Copies of this chain bind each other. A is one copy, B any other.
Amino acid sequence: MRIALAQINTVVGDVDANLAAIRESIRRARLESASLVAFPELTLTGYPLLDLVHHQPLLERQRAALDELARASDDLSVVVGFVDFDPDRVGSNGRPIVYNAAAVLRHGSILGVHHKVLLPEYDVFFEQRYFSRGRQGLVVDLDGLRVGVQVCEDLWDLHYETKVTLDQARAGARLIINLSASPFNLGKGQSRRQLIQRHVRQAGCPLLFVNQVGGEDGYEGELVFDGDSLAYDRAGSLVGRGKLFEEDLVLVDLDEEGHGAVVSDREFDEDLEALGALVLGVREYARRTGFRKALVGLSGGVDSALVAVVAARALGAENVLGVSMPSRYSSDHSREDARELARNLGLEFRTIPIEKVHQAYLETLADSFEGTKPDVTEENLQARARGAILMALSNKTGALLLSTGNKTEVALGYCTLYGDMNGGLMVIADVSKPRVYAICRHINREAGREVIPRRTILKPPSAELKEDQVDPFDYDVVGPLTDLLVEQELTVEQCVARGYPRELAERLLRMIRVSEYKRRQAAPGIRITKRAFGVGRRHPIA
């Protein structure tokens, strides 16, 4: 039999758009003589729905859409995600009961409905908050072939008592299809492959994993869905694979025994994957919020250079404006490097000196500052003048302001709230400084030329907010140590055991804690690691 995995980009809340995309995939699957087509999790509503799950008109509209699809179905089986609900029963949250569900449509009717059994309530997931739990995995009979249908977390059963896949195999399933909205993070591709292979060994039948692609608002940050759908046959061999970060219709041919023709797997390169995720994240955020143009302040440093490259790839260089805003402390090379980057990328470029505004602030505040020494206040004023100028350009031109702080800076609070943190999206807020350098080098290597000026990569990082300032960190040490403290939540003791100086670990932990208030007011960032700020991480401000 031939199965089509429709790796589509659904849109949260837009049932009509999702229905149209589903119909198009059904049409193509039929042309390809598939006998079954499967879609990602919550296909009709998009994922994650957040509080929209309580929006009754949306629930009714998508339920009607499901019925339309069912009525139009024939001997091509369609497995599609939707929200099942019971308006007459109320859950413990006082809201009508809803299920994260999947339906099997065939010959004009709904052949079976699966309610997601395992509901993740950790990290970026809030499903116990929104959904009621299903009792067991669905197994349906399709022309004598028993097919198990499950949704996303049903597969990730390590810490759950219920084992959906194994139960389905025991109930006679000879093929299992998993509808997913599995967000990207570095290393996720490998863990999915290991997980599926383990299940295939245990269940003794093929397992097909169809994943959503695109970017969605994860409430506390931007989630990227990477596609990368996977089909493993009964022997545990990869027999189908969806594109990374792109829509795809994956065709999988399985014989009666559940075996297929082996396909080669992709290569795993973290810098390439991170860059792809950032580009998709920016493109999707802009699409959803209706921006066609973007705006980046270019300092001549690596962070803004990387954001500019990402923006140009996501929206087209012709839709990106780079702005250099030199101050009395800016070096010549900063201005030149910013200009050269813009030229290399083909961006529109503008220079707007901040001296006049900076001076006006100092004069306006002279009385208030009398008798005090210059401190971080004066530095912040420059960052805030730049932030206001960028926002004025954004307001005037309708371009999305992208902010440029990296994960290490944002972790340590080495950034100015209402200044360089301004913007609708913090593009690299989940990319640590050493990885910023690695991705920049990757970009130049891949291009075979200096897209990002060599000097930008080689010079010591500086905020240039006072004379002869350079960043007070050795990022080669501080970057990884900060990652250990944030991503892996190591204690100071554990960092010391790994060879880091205790004093440094304590200092960084203190900096991470006292800057929580800044992150609370930060724009959403694009998540590329297991533990991004905002997304799934909830630490008190005090």
19 contacts between A and B (CB under 8 A): A50-B538, A50-B539, A51-B539, A54-B489, A56-B491, A92-B118, A92-B159, A93-B120, A95-B122, A122-B129, A217-B542, A288-B542, A352-B368, A354-B364, A357-B360, A360-B360, A377-B392, A381-B392, A521-B521
Shortest C-beta distance, A482 to chain B (Å), equals: 17
Binds B, one of A265-273, A302-310, A383-391: A383-391
- Chain B residues contacting A424 (CB-CB under 8 Å) are 517
Flag if A159 contacts B91 (CB, 8 Å).
yes
**Interchain CA distance A122-B131 in the complex, whole Å:** 11
Q: How many copies does the complex hold?
A: 2
**Interchain CA distance A522-B417 in the complex, whole Å:** 11
Interface size on A, residues (CB 8 A): 80
A260 within 8 Å of B (CB atoms): no
Q: Pick the residue among B352, B367, B375 that contacts A395 (CB under 8 A).
A: B375
Q: A92-B122, A217-B540, A521-B523 are in contact. List 14 more A-B contacts (CB 8 A).
A: A51-B537, A52-B539, A90-B159, A92-B159, A94-B122, A121-B128, A121-B129, A217-B542, A290-B542, A352-B368, A364-B389, A365-B389, A376-B395, A380-B392
Shortest C-beta distance, A528 to chain B (Å), equals: 19
Q: Pick the residue among B12, B219, B418 that contacts A418 (CB under 8 A).
A: B418
Q: Pick the residue among B12, B50, B360, B489 that contacts A359 (CB under 8 A).
A: B360
A498-541 CB mask vs B (1 if < 8 Å, else 0) is 00000000000000000001001111100000000000011111
**Interchain CA distance A49-B388 in the complex, whole Å:** 36
Flag if A364 contacts B353 (CB, 8 Å).
yes
A329 within 8 Å of B (CB atoms): no
Known: A126-B129, A380-B391, A418-B418. A541 touches B121 (CB 8 A): no
